[in-house]
Amino acid sequence: MSQAKLFFMPTRIVHGLGSIAAVVTQARAAGGTKACVCTDAGLTSAGVTARVTDLLNEAEFPYVLFDQVEEDPGVRTVAAGVDVFKAEGCDLVIALGGGSPMCAGKGIALVAANGGVLTDYEGFNKAAKAPYPVIAVPTTAGSGTEVSKVTILTDEARSFKMSILDERTYPTVAILDGGLMESLPAWPALVAGMDALAHALDAVWSVGATDFSDGLAAASAATILQSLPKAALTGHLGAKQRMLEASTMANMATGTSLPGLAHVLSQPLGRLHLSHGLATGIMLPYAMEFNLPVASAKIAPVARLLGEQGDDAELAESVLFRLWDLMDAVGFPTTLDPAVVTDDEIPLLVEQCTKVVNYRLNVRNASPADLERLYRKALAKE
């Protein structure tokens, strides 16, 4: 019986402080002649967008700016971006920002190439054609969308964050320049960093994990546990670069394995307008605690990379303690707000968990009763 597994990473990764200088070279190498720069108004007002558009102007590379991406964008934003992309004759997307602009950019490239509406592509491999090339430029160290075949966008009609999974939707190029995070405020940096840590650890306890993904995930998790406070709370560019590269490694891991329980629990919380990184970060320690009885050997390598010694159970538990300590040290919430997540919401949240595409991928099966218990723990009600 075959036990073959797959590790696939088609995205070219350009990384290091100052690496944004390669954007025009990479755009031309991808075959682009006119770019749609997909970002958000906040990055434009902060001057970060100009770090890219100045390079395009200097090289006389044509582009149009679409900076109307909101947090947790969806069908409407992608449709608006497709209209701009087509009207301007673009053949390349430069997606600049956190997970929201990068996912929106990937959605625009997909729908522009295939037609229809975004919801046509929910699920696995629904597109007839490959999307237009995408150059992903993360300005937060969190989503990892720059190296992901997964695109998560909101279907407003259902108040549901849907997943699009297709190996052709990997960005063509990812440019990782920690200098673009220089003006990122502490809170979004912390939310993004916890999202990255959730990618790393959810990859470890996924049934789809491989030796390749485990190595990337453990290295990423150890780096984030060490680097997040300095990267988020100070101006240390070296720490920001380490966080950005660790975030990318985390998504390379979870892109192979597909994520486990923390992401299952967090995805339905989007309907309550909790950002993905915040919801996933809050649910992460509860997911780890649930998985410890069966996943200690998978979690222990993180502690060994941090220089700790002991048996697998002791080391895995120490990672959980480190996680609680990290959240406390940086002021990241450890419970859900009962004013937002009410008792009446829990049955629907549980039902939506069971419909998330990766629900069956956690190494320890979580029954609906388990899911309810975990939500109640996160609400400090158990």
Q: Tokens in use for 206?
A: 């996924």
Q: What mean pLDDT comes out for the span 157-164?
A: 86
CATH among 3.40.50.1970, 3.50.50.60, 3.40.50.300, 1.10.10.60 for 12-180: 3.40.50.1970
Q: For residues 306 and 316, give the distance between their C-alpha atoms in angstroms, rounded to a whole number.
A: 12
Transcribe 130-146 into DSSP letters.
PPPPEEEEESSSS--GG
Query: What's the pLDDT score for residue 2?
Result: 57
**φ, ψ for residue 313, nearest 5 deg:** -65, -45
Q: What mean pLDDT comes out for the span 176-180?
A: 97
Give the closest residue to 24 by CA, choosing from 120, 91, 94, 85.
Answer: 94
Please tell me which residue, 143 or 11, carries the higher pLDDT value: 11
Q: What mean pLDDT comes out for the span 303-321?
A: 98
Query: What's the pLDDT score for residue 5?
Result: 80
Query: What's the pLDDT score for residue 77?
Result: 98
The answer to whether 143 and 195 are in contact (CB under 8 A) is yes
**In the chain, where the domains are located:** 12-180, 185-378
**φ, ψ for residue 129, nearest 5 deg:** -125, 155
What is the share, in percent, of the chain residues with pLDDT greater than 90? Answer: 88
Interval 269-283: pLDDT, tens: 988 988 888 999 999
Query: What's the pLDDT score for residue 381?
Result: 73
Q: Return the DSSP state at 168.
A: G
Q: What mean pLDDT comes out for the span 250-254?
A: 94
Q: For residues 209 and 38, give the distance between their C-alpha atoms in angstroms, rounded to a whole number.
A: 32
Core vs surface per residue 143-163: b (16+ CB within 10 A) or e: bbbbbbbbbbbbeeeeebbbb
Give the closest residue to 227 by CA, choosing from 215, 242, 217.
Answer: 242
Q: What mean pLDDT comes out for the span 101-122?
A: 97
Interval 219-232: pLDDT, tens: 999 999 999 999 99
* CATH number attached to the domain at 185-378: 1.20.1090.10
**94 Cα distance to chain centroid:** 17
Q: What mean pLDDT comes out for the span 310-322?
A: 98
Label residue 7 by pLDDT band (50, 70, 90). confident
| Angle, alpha carbons 76-80-81 (nearest 5°) | 115
- Mean of all residue pLDDT scores within the chain: 95
Name 116's Cβ contacts closer than 8 Å, sequence gap at least 6: none
Q: Is the pLDDT of residue 294 over 80?
A: yes
Query: What's the pLDDT score for residue 1?
Result: 57
Q: What mean pLDDT comes out for the span 149-165?
A: 88
Transcribe 105-130 into DSSP letters.
HHHHHHHHHH-S-GGGG-EES--SSP
Q: What mean pLDDT comes out for the span 205-215?
A: 95
Of 149-153, 204-208, 286-290, least confident by mean pLDDT is: 149-153
Interval 52-111: pLDDT, tens: 999 999 999 999 999 999 988 999 999 999 999 999 999 999 999 998 999 999 999 999
The answer to whether 380 and 359 are in contact (CB under 8 A) is no
